[in-house]
Amino acid sequence: MPTVTGGSDDAGQAVDTRQVVFIVVAILGLVVAALLVPPAGVDGPGSGPGSGPGTSDGAVEDGDGDGGDDGGGDGEPGEWLRWLAEVIDSPPDRPPENDEPRCLVSFEPPPEPGTTVTVTVILEGEPAADVPVRFEGERIGRTNDDGTVSGEVPYVRELTVRVGVESGPDCIVEKSAGARGSLRSPGRHYSDGGARTGDTSAALPVGVAAAQDDNVSVDVDVRGEMRVDVEGDAYPGTDVRVRARIGSRPVPDAEVSVDGDAVGTTDADGTATVTVPDDGRREVDVAVARGEYDATTVVDVLLLGVDLEPRSSLAVVPGADATVVATLGDRPAPGAVVSVAGRERRRTNETGHLDVVLPADPRATVRVETENQTATTSVADRYAVPAAAIVLLATLAVGITARRRGRHSAATAAAAIGGLLAAIVAVLVVDAHYGATARNAVIVAGCVLVGLVALGRR
């Protein structure tokens, strides 16, 4: 049997690749040929068999066998390519000349609350005179011979402007620098940046308006934020000046309130005088509002305060050294006059502090005075609340013990609590009058005494 020697796998792969390339080239050739072949002509004189006798070399005789000019069969090569190029280069359809807007409305400057803007109306390329213009439904006037009218922008976040035009022509509103907003009735968008009526398929940016019921209506966002400043020191019972502004412009006729209570309105300069409450409040909210704009600021009341702090001991103790601290709101009160038990009239330093010696009577008052305020305190006042809390807790503990374990156990608990409190007071007094060494000695002695008592009971 003859032996057949096969080629390598690489050789078979090369043959297959050539076949694929041949097929691709053939397809490309067919596509090019289809583009170059002239289109088939319609039936007519000189086309088709029998159109006339021919010569031996295939030429057609004169007469009915002309076969060319009228039949359309003699197209030029590349006609399809030229037709494709013409389609690509042809300009897009443009709206007819008579599609241009008849009405143009513009604003100068961009609307801001409280400012005066000029509205210009152009019809058929000419200024439109005697056209009514409204802001938020209020007529600001009619346009003059130049097609302009001016009006004050109300205090709204979104200004609705209506322009009355005859016959309701299509209009666009010119977009001023910085103007923003949205249409109340959107129209179709055109290449000139405007809109026309009759198409509500797309929402458009501000500057575009549609004529409806002989009125052009557009909503424009009004720029600006209100700011409130308080001038002067807010001492209780004194007057301060409140100033309201939007940008650099004052806000007149705005309502002013303190902690929600109306107290007046701003004048033409955007200011108002407000009396600071004298009822112990440490801060108040001052608010100003006009239209859709408002602002609030928190004012710290410069309420005079006084406190006692220990100088070198653990606690403030009657008869010991202490420091008087005077404050106005959250800041020091320098130069305040301090008197202790009606004596030693001295002034606080730049930090509002003054070192004093407290009287032995815990009820003796420490008085601090400024030009228009007075504040007092005492050792008893300082410890009144903590002492009341301790007594309440001790009473509750004794009561619970009596209910659960009887009166004898309750008496024991009361004695223990009383002894503990007495020991704490003794330690604090010794510390304030005799220093840390004596305090530590008392603590050690107390611990030894408690230990001996415990051992004796065993």
Read off the pLDDT of each residue in 84-101 and give the average, rounded to a whole number.
55
Structure tokens at 128: 């439109």
- Which of 61-65, 299-303, 347-351 has the weakest average pLDDT? 61-65
Percent of the chain predicted with pLDDT > 90: 30
pLDDT at 124: 80
Phi and psi at residue 438, to the nearest 5°: -65, -35
The structure tokens 């033409």 sit at: 268
pTM of the model: 0.57
Q: What CATH code is assigned to 304-379?
A: 2.60.40
Per CATH, the number for 98-221 is 2.60.40
pLDDT band at 101 (very low <50, low <70, confident <90, very high): low
381 contacts: CB under 8 Å, gap ≥ 6: none
Asked if 165 contacts 124 with a C-beta cutoff of 8 angstroms, the reply is no
Question: How high is the pLDDT of residue 79?
Answer: 66
**Given this model, what pLDDT does residue 369 score?**
92
Pairing mode, if any, of strands 171-173 and 103-108? parallel
Domain boundaries, the chain: 98-221, 226-300, 304-379, 384-457
Q: Is the pLDDT confidence value at 296 over 90?
A: yes
CATH architecture of 226-300: Sandwich (2.60)
Report in angstroms the alpha-carbon separations of 320 from 174, 179, 311, 431.
81, 72, 9, 10
202: pLDDT confidence band, cut at 50, 70 and 90?
Answer: very low
What average pLDDT is seen over the chain? 75
In the DSSP assignment, the letter for residue 70 is T
Question: Is the predicted pLDDT of residue 150 greater than 90, yes or no?
Answer: yes
Per-residue confidence at 320, pLDDT binned at 50, 70, 90? confident
Q: Is the pLDDT of residue 198 over 50?
A: no
Encoding tokens for residue 127?
């200024």
> What is the per-residue pLDDT for 368?
94
pLDDT confidence of residue 422 = 82
Burial 7-36, CB ≥16 within 10 A → b, else e = eeeeeeeeeeeeeeeeeeeeeeeeeeeeee
- Answer yes or no: is pLDDT of 432 > 80: no
